[in-house]
Amino acid sequence: MTRALYVLIGDPVAHSRSPKIHARAFELLGIDAVYAPCLVTNVPAAFAGLRALGAAGFNVTVPHKEAAAKLCDRLDAAAERIRAVNCVDAVFTGHNTDVPGILRALNQEASAGGPDVVFGAGGSARAAAFALPGCSIVNRTRSRAEALARDLGARLAEPEVIREARLVVNCTTIGLHDESLPFDVAQLPKDAVVVDLVYRGATGDTALVRAARARGLRAIDGLAVLVHQAIASLEIWLGRNDLEELYPKLREAALA
């Protein structure tokens, strides 16, 4: 039996926490496998190479998720609709595990009521809009928001929509490199839940997550989404549906 090969392709990949998460998962599960981050600029060549090497599965990250969707042999229903793939299995079916990543991170925390609001209209916002049917979209570039709304049945909205929101998901890159905020948490209702897909620094939290928690709101950080999407990827690759219990240990590994 040869060691199973799993890979992350993207540009950049050097600071990804996924290799630590997957190495710990394989250790906990007693699986002889390696998960290697690979800096890739030529996505078709990388796909051909991974086919030739018989990769057991791989993840795709920025900026290659849309290119990957075009190179898979088939797509699952979510990836087909979102037109972006972040997880490919051994038979080259493309999946989008950002969707279960977001939904599992939310778990029971979303309350019913006002609109779900997604900030952003890029790849991760498309996954969030699929996960939250009928959500409102706020984005800097209106044409991109219009395309997302059309493709995924979301509504266009202005930033003021957060005054009524029960759930707000940040899918912009705001806060990735500094302390800037995508919206003012003071405007949110007091029972609102905030999810930030961005994670940074030693703890993984951002100025948005800290500001939301300082106001007493529930805030879910990007590391929670990342670890849950990793678990969803593992479940696809290993044909299992019982790996959620690994979450605390994999989060610890991501922070180590």
* Catalytic residue list: 65
| Binding of residue 18 to ligand NDP (CB under 6 A) | no
Asked if 239 and 232 touch (Cβ cutoff 8 Å), the reply is: no
Taking contact as CB under 6 A, which single stretch among the options 8-16, 51-59, 123-131, 209-217 is the one that binds ligand NDP?
123-131
Residues 79 to 98 in contact with ligand NDP, rule: CB under 6 A: 98
How does 7-17 read in b/e, with b if 16+ C-beta sit within 10 Å?
bbbbeebeebb
In the complex, minimum distance from the CB of residue 22 to ligand NDP, in angstroms, rounded to a whole number: 14
Instruction: Give the residue, chosen from 172, 195, 217, 238, that forms a contact with ligand NDP under the rule CB under 6 A.
Output: 172
In the complex, minimum distance from the CB of residue 141 to ligand NDP, in angstroms, rounded to a whole number: 3
Spacing of C-alpha 133 from chain mean position: 17
| Binding of residue 195 to ligand NDP (CB under 6 A) | no
In the complex, minimum distance from the CB of residue 107 to ligand NDP, in angstroms, rounded to a whole number: 15
Burial class (CB in 10 A: 0-12, 13-18, 19+), 63: middle
| Binding of residue 226 to ligand NDP (CB under 6 A) | yes
In the complex, minimum distance from the CB of residue 113 to ligand NDP, in angstroms, rounded to a whole number: 25
Taking contact as CB under 6 A, which single stretch among the options 36-44, 49-57, 134-142, 155-163 is the one that binds ligand NDP?
134-142
Instruction: Give the residue, chosen from 124, 136, 206, 233, that forms a contact with ligand NDP under the rule CB under 6 A.
Output: 124
Q: List interacting residues with ligand NDP (CB under 6 A).
A: 62, 98, 101, 120-125, 139-141, 144, 171-174, 176, 197-199, 222, 225-226, 229
